[in-house]
Amino acid sequence: MLKIPSMIILGIETSCDETSASLLEVKNKKTKVLSNVISSQVKLHAKFGGVVPHLAAREHVKNIGSVLELAIKDFNPRKIDLIAVTVGPGLISSLLVGTAFARTLAWKLDKPLVGTNHVKGHIYSNWLAPMGTTRTMLPATIFPALCLTVSGGHTQLILMEDYERFTPVGETLDDAAGEAFDKIARILELGYPGGPAIAAESEKPDGARFELSLPRPMLNAKNFDFSFSGLKTAVLYLTRDLTKTHPLKKIRHDMAKEAQQAIVDVLTAKTIRAAKQYGARTVLLAGGVSANKLLRAQLEQRAIAEKIKFLRPEMEYTTDNAAMIAMAGYFEYAKNKKADWESVRVDANLAI
Ligand code: KG4
Ligand code: ZN
């Protein structure tokens, strides 16, 4: 059994294009996010249709000091018990900014520092209550849990047997689910990031004009891997054909809706199948794509039908944030108690 000590954790996240710092309190087996400041670079990268690594790093350097200042405001930094920073996976130049900053801070304040896995952070976002409110720590009876982690960089099914054991049971062979949303949005000229744009387009009350049918790649494959690049190519070819006779704006709604449905159908079916095979008590959703309302609703409905508990993060913790990193760092520390700033190293391809 993991001991749950009370402490204040400072989280720092810079793995991609969000600079974030957060204070998290764990007290009497309850969690409370005291602050969670996020400086997003979405507007900067939107012009380029995706994240430009060296520009992202430059923005992190520019913003990290003021983000930290806002996050700790009147709080006495001496009262921080632990610092947690994302060390991977992510963009190497972005990761280096947050890690160098956190190491310096830990040295200066003489506090323990743990390096945190970003994907574990997304999983632990499920432990967090809306900012300023408290939530009792999830009980060990949620395990074994099957986690669907879907973001711009990752799509994985992870079996979580307890706080310490994470076993990947399936992953994407090519594009991540978020990447598929982003690339399809680019084909449909819907802007970046693509996920929210496709979701918004699908929800428009436009009547259907076309009977579109896109593939559900690997839906019936026996393993728990995914593949989304074929779906993107199918969207490209179908859009190319249809725009010979119709303007793009007439096609967009139907194509966005069918593409979103195809992605959600595959993610839902394989997650539920894996949960049943591994005897999971809980299905847990995590990562940027977990903000997708259709995915949340469809997965919840299917899990409940199978009498499996369903957990998903609060909307405010779906995209990259430091509160989830503080939570993951807390468990890492509770497990290992290993936390000296000198041994914290970046690993852009860090596995779970
Ligand atoms: O976790 P995240 O913020 O960054 C990474 O670690 O990659 O995930 C970003 C991804 C983007 O690909 C974005 O398009 C997708 O999450 N996303 C969504 C939605 N909101 C964000 N995808 C589908 N529906 C959404 N509502
Ligand atoms: Zn992420």
Please name which ligand lies nearest the alpha carbon of 186: 1
φ, ψ (nearest 5 deg) of residue 303:
-65, -45
pLDDT of residue 1: 62
| pTM (2 d.p.) | 0.95
Residue segments in the chain with a per-residue pLDDT below the cut of 50: none
Task: Encode pLDDT of 242-287 as tens digits.
Answer: 999 999 999 999 999 999 999 999 999 999 999 999 999 999 999 9
Check: CB of residue 330 under 8 Å from CB of residue 25. Answer: no
Element (H, E) at 147: strand 145-150
Who's near 46: CB < 8 A, 6+ residues apart?
A: 191, 192, 193
| SS (HEC) of 12-75 | EECCCCEEEEEEEEEECCEEEEEEEEEEECHHHHHCCCCCCHHHHHHHHHHHHHHHHHHHHCCC
**pLDDT tens column, 64-96:** 999 999 999 989 999 999 999 999 999 999 999
225 phi and psi angles, rounded to 5 deg: -85, 165
pLDDT score for 15: 96
CB 99 within 8 A of CB 85: yes
Return the best residue to mutate from 232, 315, 319 for the ligand 1 pocket (most ligand atoms within 8 A of CB): 319
- What is the pLDDT, as a whole number, of residue 45? 87
- The set of protein residues with a Cβ atom below 6 angstroms from ligand 1 is 16, 151-153, 178, 181-182, 193-196, 199, 287-289, 291-292, 319-320
